[in-house]
Amino acid sequence: MAWALVVIAGLLETGFALSLKASEGFSRLVPSVMFVVFAASSFTLLAIGLRTLPVGSAYAVWTGIGAVGTAVVGMVFLGESIEVLKLVSIVLIVAGVVGLQLTSSAH
């Protein structure tokens, strides 16, 4: 259950990163509010997950999901460049996230 919370928190991290971009430096109200909601939700779920999970593994999984999700959304929906090295790097992040989760004592 704790890992599911961390995964959801990571997905919400993608939401807060994209909202932060859309807020244009907190100059637009709706994306700014969305950022606060996504960030608060993400941190709350991460904090709950950290009650039972090792901090190093859980934090790395959370940031990895957020980083991969943000990069993929940027490439697919926001017109960011798609390059082989970027895709390989994303695969390496995913491999690291899976490895950390599998080696965690609380999985």
DSSP string, 45-73: HHHHHTTTS-HHHHHHHHHHHHHHHHHHH
pLDDT tens profile 48-87: 999 999 999 899 999 999 999 999 999 999 999 999 999 9
| Predicted local confidence at residue 103, as pLDDT | 84
pTM for the whole structure? 0.88
Parent domain of 19: 2-103
Please count the structural domains in the chain. 1
